Amino acid sequence: MKTKLNELLDFPCLFTYKIIGNAQPELVDEVVEVVQRYAPGDYSPKVTPSNKGNYYSVSITITATNGEQVKTLYEELGKIYIVRMVL
């Protein structure tokens, strides 16, 4: 399947997601759990708290194999109940 992502990126490649969510301890575990479903691997997400401490920014890099995988992960990460945004 030819998608815009498949035209823009040479797969496999490293692809970083940045997930903004409520500052709750389970956010990182939830993110890793979803990523493991679509891109199994050993991940060490980087977590940065917001200035006021209300939100966490979680950055996680995967080895993406195709555009469909990238798109699916955007959608699935966005479904996590404490996630506010996926970049």
pLDDT single digits (tens) 48-78: 999 999 999 999 999 999 999 999 999 999 9
The maximal CA–CA distance of the chain, rounded, in angstroms, is 43
Q: Range of 25's domain? A: 4-86
Counting the structural domains of the chain, the total is 1
DSSP characters over the chain: ---HHHHHS-SSEEEEEEEEEES-THHHHHHHHHHHHHS-S----EEEE-TTSSEEEEEEEEEE--HHHHHHHHHHHHTSTTEEEE-
Identify the pLDDT of residue 29.
97
Q: Indicate the average pLDDT of the chain.
A: 94
Q: How much is the pTM?
A: 0.92
Identify the pLDDT of residue 2.
56
Is the pLDDT confidence value at 1 over 70? no
Identify the pLDDT of residue 7.
83
CA distances (Å), 2 to each of 11, 60, 62, 63, in order? 12, 25, 21, 19
Q: What is the CATH number of the domain that holds 15?
A: 3.30.70.260
